[in-house]
Amino acid sequence: MIRNPVLPGFNPDPSFCRVGEDYYLATSTFEWFPGVQIHHSTDLVNWRLVARPLRRAAQLDMRGNPDSCGIWAPCLSHAEGKFWLVYTDVKRFDGAFKDAHNYIVTCDTIDGEWSDPIYVNSSGFDPSLFHDDDGRKYFMNQRWNHRGRGTGGNPKHASFDGILLQEWSPDRGLFGPVRNIYDGTERGLTEGPHIFKRDGWYYLTVAEGGTGYDHAVTMARSRSIWGPYETHPAKHVITCAHDPAHPIQRTGHGQYVEGHDGRHWHTFLMGRPLRLPSGFYCPMGRETGLAEVEWRDGWLWLKDGGQLPPETIQAEAERPPRNAVAYDFTHGALPADFQWLRHPHPERLFRTSSQGLRLIGRESIGSWFEQALVARRQEDFAYQATTVLDFDPEHYQQAAGLTTYYNRFKFHALMLTNEPGIGRALTILSCPGDFPHGALEHPTAPVPVGPGPVELRVAVDHASQQFLWRQGGDWHAIGPALNAAVISDEGGRGEHGSFTGTFVGMAAFDTSGMGREATFGRFAYVPQ
């Protein structure tokens, strides 16, 4: 049974690629390093992370990139015996401009060492590479019009200026005419283009409606790759915008693949909102879903009819239940579930040792440049995360602890620090969606702790979270229950300016500049 999401937790903008009987999904990582996640499956049910290709400073350096910038909408393809990966590094979000730079990297194997990037253009984001059956290659991307009204937290149609297409080759780069091949429908915000070819038709799929609750997969076709493109009779192949009661929401931005067994599939990003009196909230961010589609009269349609994607699809394989995961940092490499923010030189931020994971206190939590924060995705509405911390701060500018983190405006953190007149103490630093100021709240008075390691825990139950601690003996709650719903796409700035998802992990900072180190001996993530 295929169960949506097939990739739970922050995994948006899925690019779908098949090589023989092997299926690959590449998803956006935004400001999290290394860049791009690629999962592999042979049954479309069970998926395994096999690569994060952008690992070197020559490929990606996101220091200074604002929240929800960085890697947008990668496109993965296979041609001429190797994999091709196209991606955008977005350097600006607010205001009229985007500064979106597009690159291509290649590799003979999915999990090998990917090439240094080839720069392509900066005219817009969501790039895609199409390999035609005559060997020619075409590059496309959304064009960004800075003369529009910009974003400001709610995208405006005028800035989305159609889909550009131009021929490209590894030797010549872009060449020949560049044309705007598709302006989209009245839903607007046309982005995320992908082209495939079938029965002499060039089919174009795009994402429309913005990546919130009006999102949709739109389809068009043409006999010529240059157009003109005729829009699908129903316009949208997948959307939930007309049915807010559907368990799956925010559906759009995916790619078509014909299976090796003759079945047909289309991916889509999706959200699983908490439905609260104050609104909908997606703490897991945008995840990856999969729908079975079929051909009728030269167009794709959902196999079950309509435009609402299914929660489950019949398949031979079964996905095992989600179990607790315990991480030990004493065996060399950082476990694959974990990432860090922006920095291409992780040795500046952390290292593994025989004692555990050692974080080097750098800039403040929420920094866009050099932040020591190592975390994994939240994948469940209810879970517990536990770690043990050994840290001896000298003053309040040195702190380390456990955090549920979205970005600089949305996080809760239980930190061990040194408070004047108290000494070593636990305190909570909270920024519950205060955009654009990022002001901190301190929901509890500092709690003194004795010498030696301290165990820290967060228990998340849908819209609520509680921090706990102990030094031997029983667990003690610290502070009040906090709003977990605000640590989500919709919290603070809202869905049109928040594109990642909630992480849970370990953080350290030393704003004195002395680089005080903190050691985390273990970490456990337990779905409830």
Residue numbers annotated as active site: 370
Strand, helix or coil at 364? coil
Say how far apart CA 194 and CA 217 lie, in whole Å.
Answer: 11
Say how far apart CA 489 and CA 499 lie, in whole Å.
Answer: 6
DSSP 8-state symbol, 438: -
DSSP 8-state symbol, 348: G
Please, which residues have CB within 8 angstroms of residue 171's CB and are 6 or more apart in sequence?
Answer: none
Token digits of residue 236: 């949208």
Which H or E run contains 423?
A: strand 423-432
30, 9, 497, 11: which is closest to 254 by C-alpha?
11
Token digits of residue 45: 């049910």
Q: Is 76 exposed, middle or buried (0-12, 13-18, 19+ CB in 10 A)?
A: buried
- Other beta carbons less than 10 A from residue 95's beta carbon: 10
Please, which residues have CB within 8 angstroms of residue 212's CB and are 6 or more apart in sequence?
Answer: 250, 489, 495, 496
Amino acid identity for residue 479 in this structure: G
- CA distances (Å), origin 414, targets 356, 423, 430, 493: 19, 16, 9, 23
Token digits of residue 196: 């495939």
Rg (CA), the chain: 23
Say how far apart CA 219 and CA 227 lie, in whole Å.
Answer: 13
Assign residue 97 a region (left: φ > 0; alpha: ψ between -120 and 50; beta: otherwise): beta
- CA distances (Å), origin 424, targets 358, 444, 447: 19, 15, 8
Please, which residues have CB within 8 angstroms of residue 133's CB and are 6 or more apart in sequence?
Answer: 197
- Other beta carbons less than 10 A from residue 235's beta carbon: 18
Token digits of residue 201: 């038709």
